[in-house]
Structure formats: structure tokens, C-alpha cells
Amino acid sequence: MSGAPAAIWVAACAADDVEREDVVRFDHDGRTYAIYHSPDDAYYATDGLCTHEEAHLAEGFVSGTIIECPKHNGRFDYRTGEAKGAPVCVNLKIYPVKIEAGRIFIDLA
Amino acid sequence: MAVESRARDYSLIGPEGAKAQEKGLAGAAWYQSPIPRKQLKDLMQRSDGPALRDTAIWIAALALSGSAAAWLWGTWWCVPAFFVYGVLYGSSSDSRWHECGHRTAFKTRWMNDVVYQLACFMILREPTVWRWSHARHHTDTIIVGRDPEIAVPRPAYIPGILLNLFALKSGAKAVRLLFIHAAGRLAPEEETFIPEAEHGRVYVVARIYLAIFAAVAAACAAVASILPAMLIGLPTFYGGWLAVVFGVTQHAGLAEDILDHRLNSRTVTMNPLLRFLYWNMNYHVEHHMFPAVPYHALPRLHAVVKSDCPPPYPSLWAAYAEIVPALLRQSKDPSYCVRRMPGAVAGSR
């Protein structure tokens, strides 16, 4: 018996809604998420608020595989959630993503 | 109407911080002028080119004026050379640490970090302390009890501002903190905004700074002249006046405790030379509203949002024509502030 919880796939937005090397915001069930489209045409999802002071990352700047917080310029690798140095010290939670019929689903399990 | 004559407590460890939190002013959402995402994304694009060009000019001008000053040492001709060198060292470093602290000046991260470290030393702002201090300044801009960078508290202490033209107050405080940090301690206020994991870094850098100053003092003793200190260390003091002239315009006399940078910050139009020295920080409303936009894109950002902002001050003179009377009035009535957009709804997004 596996200890991993069953996936809970939630439709977030159309894949076309996220430009390449950009991010959009997705709110669901009282929480906010950020959906990314990388330069190599892959999609990723993270928590939507910066771990430093809760600014919305979807208002930030995507450069390659880095999302930069719009408020204090803290940077994360959105593929892994890794915080890349002050003023962000806590990693970002990431979520699995899949594309079906042109829509982006994220696993919120 | 009763006039509030009692000065507020601007300390981060006094009662005002808790009051700000109770009022929802700490870590709050701020007003932003609406900009289409595509346009904002374009404005946020990074580039090494402008900052490499500007930094090369800056370093070359420092080297040239510093060499001239040293060569002319002992004659009156060294005075204008030190004047130029001092402004480049003690004043232009202000905007350089600031922009590179945001890591937006260059696209390449290590370039931001190198110039940040150099400029922090020049203006005597310890890099780790000021990185965290400035993050708080952006979170809680001019929120009393929360913002550690309120340059002109009410009522304004005018002699203090004048002393700071030569960094006599701010520099003395910076030196005192260097010794505290080198001894392995932080000031109580600093503990409120610097995470514990960063404390060790503060102590190490403070010891490095003191070692550099000790080496400069030893060099002065060795050559029986203050020339080495005139080139390293003292320019922070004799050349810092322009940073104060620029810096006071940013927020002085404007509203406190309001979640709208249009009401607590100033944008001042300046000529290209001053904008080079100040790295476009005269677009201060725009910078606070969108700190991810690099300095070289601020004039374009200004053009995009200007219809939603108060008109910029046409010159430093125009800014001071408002600031000086406002500060004098605040000395009698600390509740007074300049209100430029009475119709603005603060905090709305």
C-alpha cells in the first residue's frame, strides 16, 4: 500500500493563457497558485505567494526558469521551488502539472 | 482643531509598530497604477548593457578624478578634483547600492552583487543590514514603527539633516554600528528585520570593513599624510552631500501610514547628468510602485503611469520649494503633511 495521497487534479487555465516565459495567477478554494510556462515549452505550478512576505508571484518577472518576486526581487527556481538567496530563505511549494485537451491541470493533493 | 504637537516614536521596537499591525498597515497591499501585463513584462526586462556602460563611466571617472586629486595633493587644485571624486564616491554610491541591492541594474546576478558590495562600502552601509532594511522599507514604506529608513521623521530635526550633508550624524551612527556588529551583536531594532541566519554574515563584513579602515589609517601613518584616507573612507563624509540632497526629496514632508506611493513618494524631473549620478532614482513613485523595473526603464515606466500619478516636480528647486516650508511647518505641527492627490483612494487595487 502506497503512502502517497491520491492525485487531485484541478483544471487551472488554458495552456494558451500562459505566454512562454511568463506566469499567471490561479485561485482555488481560498488559496492562490502560480502557473508558469518555461522557455522550453514546459508548464510548472507553485504556491502563488512569495515565502518572504506573501506578494503575488504572478505579478513578478519570469526570466528563464526563475520567478522574481515583484515586491522585494526575491528569486525562486519555479521548477524546483528552490529559494535562490536573500531576501527569500524558504523554498516555494511546487505542484505536479499535466496538460489535457489544451488545459493545464495541477495536482493539489 | 487641536494640533498634534507630540512627536511620534519612530523606533521599530516602540509602540507604533504594534499599532501599525493592528491597523493593517504592516505588510499590506499597496496601490498600483494599472498596466497591461504585456507592457509591464516588457518594462521589467533585464539587460547588462546600460549598467555596464554606466558603471564603466563611473569607475573611469572615479579613477581619473582620484588620480588627479592625488597628483595635485598639496595644491589648491586638488580641491575641485576631490569635489568630483567625493561626489562620485560618497553620493553616486547611494543609487548604485540601491539598484544593485534590488538586483535589477544588471541582468547578470554576480555583476549586481559586485557593484552592490563596492557601493555599500563607499557609502558605509553594511550590505546584509541594508539589504534587509531596504526590503522592510519596500514592504512598509513610511509606515511609522515599521520602516527603518524614514529619513526625515516629524518634527524634522533640521540640524541633523544639515549634519548629514557631510554624513556627520549618519556616518557616526554607521561607525558605532560597525563596532557593535564586529563585536558579534546587532542593535535591537536590527533584530526585528534581519533573520538570524544572516547575523553571522553581518559580523564578518563589519570586521572586514574595520580591517580596511585600519589598513587605511596605517597607510596614513606610514606616509605621514591623510591622503590615503582622502581617497578611501573620508569621501563618504565629504562627498555624501548630494546623496542627501537627492534622498530628502524621496519622501520628506509627505504622508505617513498610507498605502499609496503616490502620496508618500516624489518623482522629480532631473537633467541627464543628475540622473546619471542618481541612476534614475528621481522616478521614485514609479520605483516604489514597481520595484522589479530596472533603473534604465524608469523613464519609460513614468510615461506609462504619469496620468495616474501626481505631476512630477520639474526640478530639485521645485521639490525643495515644497519640502522646506513643509518641514518648518511640521516642526510646529507634526500632523501636517503635503497632500498632492486628495482624490486618491489609498490602498485600493
Which A residues, 10 through 39, put their C-beta within 8 Å of a C-beta on chain B? 22
Cα distance between residue A106 and residue A103, in whole Å: 10
Cα distance between residue B237 and residue B225, in whole Å: 18
Q: Do A71 and B128 touch (CB under 8 A)?
A: no
Cα distance between residue B4 and residue B2, in whole Å: 6
**How many degrees, rounded to 5, is the angle at CA B164 between CA B163 and CA B165?**
90
Cα dist from B322 to B81, B267, B292, B316, B318, whole Å? 33, 13, 29, 10, 7
Joined grid coordinates for residue A43: 508548464
Residues of chain B whose pLDDT is less than 50?
A: 1-4, 345-349
For residue B241, give the nearest of B324, B167, B156 by alpha carbon.
B167
Q: What is the pLDDT of residue B348?
A: 36
Question: In angstroms, what separates the C-alpha of A73 from chain B's closest C-alpha?
Answer: 6
Joined grid coordinates for residue B56: 564603466
Nearest by CB to residue B132, choosing from A54, A73, A87, is A87
Enter the DSSP assignment of B297: G
pLDDT cut 70: percent of chain A above it? 97
Ramachandran region, residue B257 (left: φ > 0; alpha: ψ -120 to 50; beta: rest)? left
Q: What is the pLDDT of residue B2?
A: 43
Cα distance between residue B76 and residue B70, in whole Å: 12
Is pTM, for the whole model, over 0.95? no
Cα dist from B211 to A64, B205, B207, B231, whole Å? 40, 10, 6, 16
Which residues on chain A are in Cβ contact (under 8 Å) with B195? 89
Which B residues, 274 through 313, put their C-beta within 8 Å of a C-beta on chain A? 290-292
Cα distance between residue B96 and residue B57, in whole Å: 13
Q: What is the pLDDT of residue B1?
A: 40
Complex ipTM over 0.90: no
Nearest by CB to residue A70, choosing from B139, B195, B292, is B292
The answer to whether residue A2 scores a pLDDT higher than 80 is no
Task: Find the closest chain B residue to A25 by CA distance.
Answer: B37
Which residues on chain A are in Cβ contact (under 8 Å) with B21? none
The sign of the dihedral angle between the CA atoms of B4, B7, B12, B13 is: negative
3-state SS class at A76: strand
pLDDT cut 90: percent of chain A above it? 83
Answer whether B123's CB lies under 8 Å from B93's CB: yes
3-state SS class at A62: strand
pLDDT in tens, B238-254: 999 999 999 999 999 99
Strand partners, A37: A22, A43
Find where cell 565629504 sits: B238
Quick check: B41 contacting A, CB < 8 Å? yes
**How many degrees, rounded to 5, is the angle at CA A94 between CA B30 and CA B105?**
50
The answer to whether residue A57 scores a pLDDT higher than 50 is yes
Joined grid coordinates for residue B334: 507634526
Instruction: Identify the band that residue A109 occupies on the pLDDT scale cut at 50, 70 and 90.
Output: confident
Question: In angstroms, what separates the C-alpha of B287 from chain A's closest C-alpha?
Answer: 11
Q: Do A61 and B103 touch (CB under 8 A)?
A: no
Question: In angstroms, what separates the C-alpha of A22 from chain B's closest C-alpha?
Answer: 8
Q: Do A86 and B103 touch (CB under 8 A)?
A: no
Helix/strand/coil (H/E/C) assignment for every residue in B182-202:
HCCCCCCCHHHCCCHHHHHHH
Which B residues, 113 through 152, put their C-beta within 8 Å of a C-beta on chain A? 128, 131-132, 135, 138-139
Q: What is the pLDDT of residue B195?
A: 93
Q: What is the pLDDT of residue B342?
A: 55
Q: Do B135 and A60 touch (CB under 8 A)?
A: no
Quick check: A72 contacting B, CB < 8 Å? yes
Number of Cβ within 10 Å of residue B25's Cβ equals 21
pLDDT in tens, B63-99: 999 999 999 999 999 999 999 999 999 999 999 999 9
- Range A29-55 average pLDDT: 94
Q: What is the pLDDT of residue B3?
A: 45
Q: Do A54 and B27 touch (CB under 8 A)?
A: yes
Which residues on chain A are in Cβ contact (under 8 Å) with B138? 71-72
Q: What stretches of B183-315 show up as alpha helix (H) in DSSP?
A: 199-223, 227-231, 235-238, 241-251, 261-264, 272-278, 284-289, 298-305
Question: In angstroms, what separates the C-alpha of A79 from chain B's closest C-alpha?
Answer: 19
- Strands A82-83 vs A43-47: parallel, antiparallel or unpaired: unpaired
Instruction: Identify the band that residue A5 occupies on the pLDDT scale cut at 50, 70 and 90.
Output: confident
Strand partners, A61: A68
Quick check: A86 contacting B, CB < 8 Å? yes
Residues ≥6 apart with Cβ < 8 Å to B64: none
Q: Do B104 and A73 touch (CB under 8 A)?
A: yes
Q: What is the pLDDT of residue B349?
A: 34
Cα distance between residue B346 and residue B349, in whole Å: 9
Task: Find the closest chain A residue to B108 by CA distance.
Answer: A63
Cα dist from B142 to B21, B106, B256, B314, whole Å? 14, 28, 5, 24
Counts for chain A of helices (H) and strands (E), in that order: 0, 11
Which residues on chain B are in Cβ contact (under 8 Å) with A13? none
Q: How far is Cα of residue A54 from the mean position of the Cα atoms in its chain?
A: 14
Question: In angstroms, what separates the C-alpha of B173 from chain A's closest C-alpha?
Answer: 24
Nearest by CB to residue B139, choosing from A53, A63, A68, is A53
